[in-house]
Amino acid sequence: MAQSIGILLLTTLLAFAPFSFCVKTTGGYLYPQFYDHSCPKAQQTVQSIVAKAVAKEARMAASLLRLHFHDCFVKGCDASLLLDSSGSIISEKMSNPNRQSARGFEVIDEIKTALENECPQTVSCADILALAARDSTVLTGGPTWEVPLGRKDSRGASLSGSNNNIPAPNNKFQTILTKFKVQGLNVVDLVALSGSHTIGNARCTSFRQRLYNQSGNGQPDYTLDQSYGSQLRTRCPRSGGDQNLFFLDFASPTKFDNSYFKNILASKGLLNSDQVLLTKNESSMELVKKYAENNELFFEQFAKSMIKMGNISPLTGPRGEVRKNCRKINS
């Protein structure tokens, strides 16, 4: 099964004309061919292991995609998220956005072990995250793109950055947009990248406020379809059940498509941060409507925005290091 999915992934990557950018950063360039000579099978190795993991558990695709997002929004795309607490380092895994929810670290470990055996201290953990995010998208039916490569890994983490920089499910629209703009992203990127919620799950604790007390007056959020809200309340009570999981996209939870935007138009966006894309800003509302109508347009912009996000403050050249183990800095 995993082998057939891996073949399908490789075929998909070759069949479509992918988006590609060569990006100049402080200290050097990121470009898709970075490992062509130093580790020619790097991308194939990542693809194979991600395919195996997703074949074993479909939810893993969304988990790996989320790791890249949560990494890039804190200190840039430098794999700081992967570091465990050690010495002076307090792991970002302990932050509110990541604690008891960030997952997929074992898959990254497996990829890193395989690459270290093949090309010791060559492929960075930051690049592994970027490739795994792309491959997870493709495996679930989404678009492909050429991933600019050449990032280095950080030698530190930022718990405060993780707590403050990553948009929260109950943030207001302007707060979310501001957090994107700080990273050099705009409203188009915000709406397109939010479309990644077409796959994956959310915990009850991520949207309970919307079901019972969104406005602070004890009343439910009336931008939520009431029938859908009633269904959610059966497994997400006022208290308890915090870790109960719900599909972010109930229509096609394991398929990467534009049904997420169709759900929002029907007032069935699960998270507050989903539904406010329609109700709180005219520009984002128009984008939601466009992507709901045109899956190809969504795919095209999602690929562009993923490349743009992957280029947030990477460490290149002499800055940073290539970790031997993604969980700890080199000694």
Task: Give me the active site residues, please.
Answer: 70
* C-alpha torsion sign, points 255, 256, 258, 260: positive
Asked if residues 98 and 40 have their Cβ atoms less than 8 Å apart, the reply is: no
For the beta carbon of residue 199, count every other beta carbon within 10 angstroms.
29
From the list 184, 171, 196, 135, the residue with the least C-alpha distance to 13 is: 135
Q: Helices 272-279 and 187-194: crossing angle, nearest 10°?
A: 130
- The two tokens of residue 100 are 């008891």
DSSP summary character for residue 129: H
Handedness of CA 38, 43, 44, 50 (dihedral sign): positive
Task: Give the Cα separation of 147 and 43 in Å (integer).
Answer: 10
CB 324, CB 227: distance < 8 Å: no
Write out the DSSP string of 48-88: HHHHHHHHH-TTHHHHHHHHHHHHHTTTSSSSGGGPPPBTT
Is 182 strand, coil or helix?
Answer: helix
Report d(CA 190, CA 162) in Å as an integer.
18
Task: Give me 113's structure tokens.
Answer: 């072990």
Cα 242 vs. chain centroid, distance in angstroms? 22
* Tally of CB atoms within 10 A around 283: 14
Which amino acid is located at 298 in the chain? Answer: F
Q: Of 188, 248, 291, which Cα lies nearest the Cα of 63?
A: 248
Length of the chain: 331
